[in-house]
Structure 1
Amino acid sequence: MNNSINGISHSILPNSVNEKSAISPGKAQADFADMLKSAIDNVNNSQVASDKKTELLAKGQIDDLHDVMITAQKASITLETSVQIQRKVIDAYNEIMRMQV
């Protein structure tokens, strides 16, 4: 199990984090902001793709209903996952703020 976790961290985290080198707070904030923006862009792109396919289906330019429904479901799952992650992050933040120092 530990090997799989290390493998995941090596594939997700930048090399500077994997090597446990000193990273400035500004760089860490910029990396986090970039990662968050990328994730939000991915959610938005899936929603836009779903909207486009739905519109094309309504206009009669697409005949494949299955493809439209699969794209819509992917967009729905992506959005729901991002909302759940947001809730967990807020809960964790609130829990940290309640800790006594």
Structure 2
Amino acid sequence: MISPIDRLQPLAALTEDQKTVETVQTAEQVPFGAVFRSAVDNVRQTDAEKVQTDYLLATGQLDNPAQSTIAGTKYQMAVELLVQLRNRALDAYSELTRINM
């Protein structure tokens, strides 16, 4: 005996997820100034941590000497990120100044 094929229902979960992704992309736009300010604050914070761990290492108060190396690496990465953001901003500014109106 042959039974009829039921109508296919649309994938409701897929369309709901797609709407969520679209709203997240538009809601999370952050101004560049806030991102740059956050990067500068991160550099300041990691520098303070590096100076503190270096002081503790020099005075013999640091239990794990690897913490000083880790703090130095975090600081180096924060500075590199800030430099890359600055370079991207300068490149974007250069592109905007080259546009002929």
Please give the TM-score of this superposition, normalised by the length of structure 2.
0.65
Check the 8 A contact 2:36/2:85 in 1, yes or no. Answer: no
Runs of 4+ in 1 over 2 A off after TM superposition: 5-14, 31-39
Alpha-carbon offset, residue 43 of structure 1:
1.4
Extract unaligned runs of 5+ from structure 2. 1-17
What residue in structure 2 maps to residue 36 of structure 1?
A: 36
Extract unaligned runs of 5+ from structure 1. 15-30
Describe the shift of the 1:64–1:85 C-alpha distance in structure 2 as closer, same or farther (beyond 3 A): same
CA RMSD, Structure 1 to Structure 2 (Å): 2.7
Between Structure 1 and Structure 2, how many residues are aligned?
82
Alpha-carbon offset, residue 37 of structure 1:
2.7
Which of structures 1 and 2 has the bigger CA Rg?
2
Describe the shift of the 1:94–1:41 C-alpha distance in structure 2 as closer, same or farther (beyond 3 A): same
Which letter maps to 1:13? Q
Which protein, 1 or 2, shows the higher relative CO under an 8 Å CA cutoff with sep ≥ 6? 2
Greater percentage in helix: 1
Identity of aligned residues (%): 27
What residue in structure 2 maps to residue 20 of structure 1?
A: none
Residues of 2 paired with 1:93 and 1:62: CA distance?
A: 45
